[in-house]
Amino acid sequence: MTKTDPSTDLAPLTESVVTGLPPERVREARRRRHPFRKPVTSILRHAFLIAAAVLMLYPVIWMVVSSFRPTELIFREAGLVFDSFEISNYVEGWNALSYPFNVYLLNSGLVVVGSIIGNLVSCSLAAYAFARLEFTGKKFWFAIMLLSIMLPIHVIIVPQYVMFSQLGWVNTFLPLIVPKLLATDAFFIFLMVQFIRGIPRELDEAARIDGAGHPRIFLQIILPLMVPALATTTIFTFIWTWNDFFSQLIFLTKPSLYTVPLALNAFQDAQSSTDFGELFAMSVVSLIPIFLIFLFGQRFLIKGIATTGIK
Amino acid sequence: MSALGELRSLKGAAAPKQRKQNKAAFLFLLPWFVGLALITVGPMVASFALSFTRYNLLSPPRFNGVENYIRMLEDERLHKALVVTFQYVLVSVPLQLGLALVLALVLDRGLRGLALYRSAFYLPSLLGASVAIAILWRQLFGVDGLINIALGWFGIEGQGWISNPETALGTLMILNVWTFGAPMVIFLAGLRQIPVMYYEAASVDGANRMQQFRHITLPMLTPIIFFNLILQLIGAFQSFTQAFVVSGGTGGPVDSTLFYTLYLYQQGFANLNMGYASAMAWLLLVIIAALTAINFWASKYWVFYDDQD
């Protein structure tokens, strides 16, 4: 609680640079803007925020706690106390479908890793061209790239399915990975363009004087400096691919190729009303990677959506 | 600058004259060009062509003119899907953005524990799109679910919120509102961009907090509100997973959660009416484009850009 966000600590300094006011005056002004110095107001505000946070997270925590309860207790207990610690839900849920759950985890993992590699390679290449090179029709292509971010996948999914099924790629991971190798997640091109624009051009110039061509400038100057943007891309690709359901539902119909979301969906369909504990347990397993990413990659997540979201 | 800001500024500013590096650019853009042609534009054209055919994947497409489009005019399930989707978007998106804005204002600068609160509110937007949360939702709002247990404490008799066609869509709206954390983070970043000198000047002039909010914070935030609105509208229109999982793929009960994309999936991939599904996809594109265009047009009247002199 005492640890404040580093960016808020820096804010007065940045602001004093922007406004030309000494930092102390900025801090003073900030306090005046938010006169929550009265302890009562401040306590009320914290009470409101804590209540809201508990309300928001209650269902998720309840699912975690319930996954350790015998099924017959789940729908009688609304509390969040670990009153029982039954891991049999996990053991039995793991083997409840035609394949053990690790098969689905591995499938999801393969699709995720392929997508991440694809996005990192193809989007960084395209971003370098848009951020650093001058070429004919640049504005036009850039506009096309921005528009393609907003294109709903549903408009292209039917012909894509026809194409991939003619190639014999249905029930392989290729339809999920190959498009990423071809930079179709244009959101990340945009994110990287934004980032590269912030890298001083003098660095490129210096390298060029030393005789480096574009491939070397890209590989040895730009790429090492854009690691934060690559990290953001990795994290977002992980989460979006891990959660993706629509395209996996369409391209993977063989149970041996099911990814985690497809397996959970099949589990719910097949399930008689008696084993909610197992269903919850596997749902919790499916959320663990997202939660870990959230814990360790939060900085990049918040930065990513804040910088691309802002004008 | 956001993607929208970029698009807005593209018409202006002339690029400085520079030597062209066409060959290098082409090589760097090659994967993207191939993807654009084969994965995006090609299928778009193909989907437009298929929308004038009858096609079931097994035999070659047969041209049938505008028959698919005429059928869409008469298809009552399609009309139902449009109504359901519009209700979902028009109710849940404003609620979600409103909540995001309120929480961002409460969390704005100088609050202890900001990072912790922000994380707590942001986490649901990462989880919200998953099948696991949709499964949870189905149980939360079930007859024996947590919601009814909680209502029982207040002596209110619950019901099967998911199995009742009157309330099923509402549970999905709540799920969308629950994911307000992502727009909230964008609002927080936007609030941080407002120069503090504006507030200084205002308080010198004796403006109270309400007036400062009304005349500084809100106008300065309108581009961010606009950005979030476009983003969430487009996203909500394409919602699929939650409705699919909660209704077991049917859009039920009585089509009350039949999202447009869910119906498109049923037509294209369950019934193999690929021509009809393509026509539906184009209607979706037209609707989304029209909504975005209307928003851009309306933005002239309420969005304030600081850089306009």
SS3 A243: helix
For B76-302, which CATH class?
A: mainly alpha
Tokens of A184: 């179709």
The structure tokens listed for A114 are 């392929």
The chain B residue lying nearest A139, using CA atoms, is: B10
Q: What would the mean pLDDT of B42-53 be, rounded to a whole number?
A: 96
User: What radius of gyration, in Å, describes the C-alpha atoms of chain A?
Assistant: 25
Is there a contact between A246 and B240 if contact means CB atoms under 8 Å apart? Answer: yes
Q: How far is B200 from chain A (nearest CA, A)?
A: 6
* Residue B168 structure tokens: 């099923």
**What are the residues facing B54 on neighbouring strands?**
B62
* CB contact set of B279 (below 8 Å; sequence gap of 6+): B51, B52, B68, B69, B72
Would you tell me how many other CB atoms lie within 10 Å of the CB of residue A203?
13
Mean pLDDT of B189-202: 89
- Chain B positions touching A184 (Cβ under 8 A) are 35-36, 39-40
Identify the closest residue of chain B to A189 by CA–CA distance.
B32
Please check the confidence at residue A310 and state whether its pLDDT lies above 50.
Answer: no
The pLDDT of residue A27 is 52
Query: Furthest-apart CA pair in chain B: how many Å?
Result: 76
Whether the predicted pLDDT of A235 surpasses 60: yes
SS3 B200: helix
Q: Is the predicted pLDDT of residue A20 greater than 70, yes or no?
A: no
Structure tokens at A68: 């350790």
CA gap A280, A264 in Å, rounded = 10
Q: In the prediction, which pLDDT does A273 show?
A: 56
The answer on pLDDT for A163 being more than 90 is yes
First to last CA, chain A: 31
Question: Which chain A residue shows the shortest CA-CA distance from B260?
Answer: A154
- pLDDT at position A304 is 75
What is the reported pLDDT for A270? 77
List the one residue out of A147, A160, A142, A145 whose CA is nearest residue B289.
A147
B292 chain-A contacts, CB cut-off 8 A: 150
* Residue contact A125–B132, C-beta within 8 A: no
Closest CA to A248 of B250, B43, B240: B240
Length of chain B: 309
Spatial CB neighbours of A282, under 8 Å, sequence gap ≥ 6: A93, A94, A96, A101, A263, A264, A267
What is the pLDDT at residue A160?
A: 95
Instruction: Give the pLDDT band of residue A243 (cuts 50, 70, 90).
Output: very high
The predicted structure's pLDDT at residue A26 = 53
Burial of B40 (0-12, 13-18, 19+ CB in 10 A): buried
Give the mean pLDDT of B206-212: 88
C-alpha count within 13 angstroms, C-beta hemisphere, residue A295:
6
Q: Which of A32, A143, A161 is facing B7, going by the closest CB pair?
A: A143
Q: How far is B216 from chain A (nearest CA, A)?
A: 12
Return d(Cα B157, Cα B45) in angstroms, integer: 54
Least confident of A33-47, A166-180, A184-198: A33-47
Q: Where are the domains of chain A?
A: 6-94, 101-270
Closest chain B residue to A11, measured at CA: B192
Q: Are A12 and A27 in contact (CB under 8 A)?
A: yes
Give B1→chain A minimum CA distance, Å: 4
Which class for A230: exposed (0-12), middle (13-18), buried (19 or more C-beta within 10 A)?
Answer: buried
Contact A59 B140 (CB under 8 A): yes
Q: Which helix H or strand E contains A212, and what residues bound it?
A: none
Please tell me whether the peptide bond between B253 and the residue prior to it is cis, using omega within 30 degrees of 0. Answer: yes
Q: Measure the CA dihedral B2/B4/B10/B11, to 10°.
A: -150
| Residue B248 CB neighbour total at 10 angstroms | 12
Is B39 in Cβ contact with A182 (below 8 Å)? yes
Q: Mean pLDDT for chain B? A: 90
Instruction: Note the pLDDT tens digit of each residue in B50-91.
Output: 999 999 988 999 999 999 999 999 999 999 999 999 999 999
Per-residue pLDDT band for A24 (boundaries 50, 70, 90) equals low
**pLDDT tier, B31 (very low <50, low <70, confident <90, very high otherwise):** very high
pLDDT one-digit tens code per residue, A104-137: 999 999 999 999 999 999 999 999 999 999 999 9
**Rounded to whole angstroms, how far apart are CA atoms A284 and B150?**
22
In this prediction, residue A78 carries a pLDDT of 76
Each residue's pLDDT tens digit, A40-62: 778 888 999 999 999 999 999 99
DSSP for residue B59:
S
pLDDT digits (tens, 9 = 90+) for B98-137: 999 999 998 876 678 888 999 999 999 999 999 999 999 9
CB-CB neighbours of A233 under 10 Å: 26
Tokens 């090609």, residue? B42
CB-based contact A34 B130, cutoff 8 Å: no
Tokens of A34: 């938010």
Mean pLDDT across the stretch A31-47?
Answer: 68
To the nearest whole angstrom, how far is the Cα of B47 from the nearest Cα of chain A?
6
Domain boundaries, chain B: 76-302
Give the pLDDT of residue A29. 53
Between B102 and B309, whose confidence is greater? Answer: B102
Tell if the CB–CB gap between B238 and A163 is shorter than 8 Å.
no
- Signed CA dihedral, A36, B228, B39, B56: sign only: positive
Q: Is A188 on the interface with B (CB under 8 A)?
A: no
Cα separation, A185 vs B231, whole angstroms:
16
**Could you say which of 1.10.3720.10, 3.30.70.980, 3.40.50.280, 2.40.160.10 is the CATH number of the domain covering A101-270?**
1.10.3720.10
Q: What is the dihedral of CA A264, A265, A267, A272, to 10 degrees?
A: 140
User: What is the value of pTM for the model shown?
Assistant: 0.88
Tokens of A260: 């985690």
Q: Quick one: how far is CA B207 from the chain centroid? A: 36
Determine the pLDDT at residue A86: 80
- Strands B53-54, B62-63: pairing is antiparallel
Identify which has the larger pLDDT, A19 or A203. A203
Neighbours of B257 (CB within 10 A): 25
Rg of chain B on CA atoms, in Å: 24
In contact, A278 and A93? CB cutoff 8 Å: yes
- What average pLDDT is seen over chain A? 85
DSSP-based three-state secondary structure for B63 = strand
Residue A70's pLDDT is what?
A: 86
pLDDT of A15 strictly over 60: no
Q: Could you tell me the two tokens for A102?
A: 């690790």
Give the pLDDT of residue B50.
96
Distance, CA of B230 to CA of B217 (rounded, Å):
20
Instruction: Give the rounded percent of residues in chain A with a pLDDT score beyond 90.
Output: 65
> Other C-beta atoms within 10 Å of B124: how many?
20
pLDDT for A192 equals 94
Q: Above pLDDT 70, what percent of chain B? A: 93
- pLDDT surpassing 90 at residue B284: yes
- Count contacts between A and B (CB, < 8 Å): 337
Q: What is the pLDDT of residue A4?
A: 37
| Closest C-alpha to A75, from A283, A286, A274, A281 | A274
B241-258 confidence digits (pLDDT tens): 999 999 999 998 999 999
Chain B interface, best mutation among A158, A165, A284, A299, by max B CB count within 10 A: A158
For residues A84 and A44, the model is more confident at: A44
- Smallest Cβ–Cβ distance between B113 and the set A1, A291, A293 belongs to A1
Q: For residue B231, which residues of chain A lie inside 8 Å, CB to CB?
A: 309
Element spanning A310, H or E: none
Contacting A residues, span 81-110, partner chain B, CB-CB under 8 Å: none
Q: How confident is the model at residue A12 (pLDDT cuts 50, 70, 90)?
A: very low
Contacts 24+ apart (CB under 8 A), A236-239: A236/A187, A236/A188, A236/A301, A236/A304, A237/A112, A237/A115, A237/A116, A237/A119, A237/A180, A237/A185, A237/A188, A238/A112, A238/A116, A238/A289, A238/A293, A239/A290, A239/A293, A239/B126
In this predicted model, which residue has the larger pLDDT, B149 or B265?
B265
* pLDDT, position A147: 92
**Confidence class for position B93, pLDDT limits 50, 70, 90:** very high
Q: Which residue of A has its CA nearest to B250?
A: A269
Give the Cα-Cα-Cα angle A62, A302, A58 (nearest 5 degrees).
Answer: 10
pLDDT for the residue numbered B65: 92
Q: How many CA atoms lie within 13 A of B1 on its CB side?
A: 15
